[in-house]
Amino acid sequence: MPGTQRDRGWKVKIRNLERTEEPHVTILWKTSSWRYNIRSPGFMDRRPDPSDVPEEVVAHIMKSMKTLREEWDRTHPQNPVESGDDR
């Protein structure tokens, strides 16, 4: 995370127990969390409201997409970002 957003408590994580779900990162802030798809970028849920996430956080995810996809594939090799349907 960029320093300003990190200092405000924003985090982006790939969680280990989500291996059967669509590849995504979890955006965390205080007690709220949003799932952001890294196969076809975009928010996966309507609640909490995605507009509550600062644009800088989403921009950082998009800038880091290659690294996030590689990390997802390393963590969840049975559910790679580029599935058989995407190749």
**pLDDT tens digits for 12-61?**
999 988 778 999 999 999 999 999 999 999 999 999 999 999 999 999 99
pLDDT for position 85: 52
CA–CA distance, 86 with 82 (Å, rounded to integer): 5
Tell me whether residue 87 is in a domain. no
pLDDT for position 35: 97
Find the domain containing 59 and state its range: 3-75
Tell me whether residue 48 is in a domain. yes
Tell me whether residue 54 is in a domain. yes
Tell me whether residue 82 is in a domain. no
Tell me whether residue 27 is in a domain. yes
- Quote the number of domains for the chain: 1
pLDDT(67) > 50? yes
